[in-house]
Amino acid sequence: MNHEHSHIHGTADSEAQALLKYMADHNAHHAGELEALAASLPAKAAAHVREAIELLNVSTQKLREAIEETEG
């Protein structure tokens, strides 16, 4: 009896995984750059940038969750 079984089970291919990881790391890097920039801005502008950083961090976390789900 010949039985084939794939161990992929809905995981993303390696190219998709690499892109997800790259984007998460890329976002995290830019969040750090934006934080440094915010320190040099007037208070109201800095507050807007810090709010944008929070949103970017949420996005980065969602990408990391997607990575975990595709690693199976």
- Residues 64 and 72: their CA atoms lie apart, in Å, by 13
* pLDDT band of 25, cuts 50, 70, 90: very high
pLDDT on residue 14:
87
pLDDT tens-digit series, residues 26-60: 999 999 999 999 999 999 999 999 999 999 999 99
- Residues 12 and 9: their CA atoms lie apart, in Å, by 9
Contact predicate 63/22, CB 8 Å? no
Closest CA to 71 of 26, 29, 12, 6: 12
Q: Which DSSP symbol is given to 7?
A: S
pLDDT on residue 64:
96
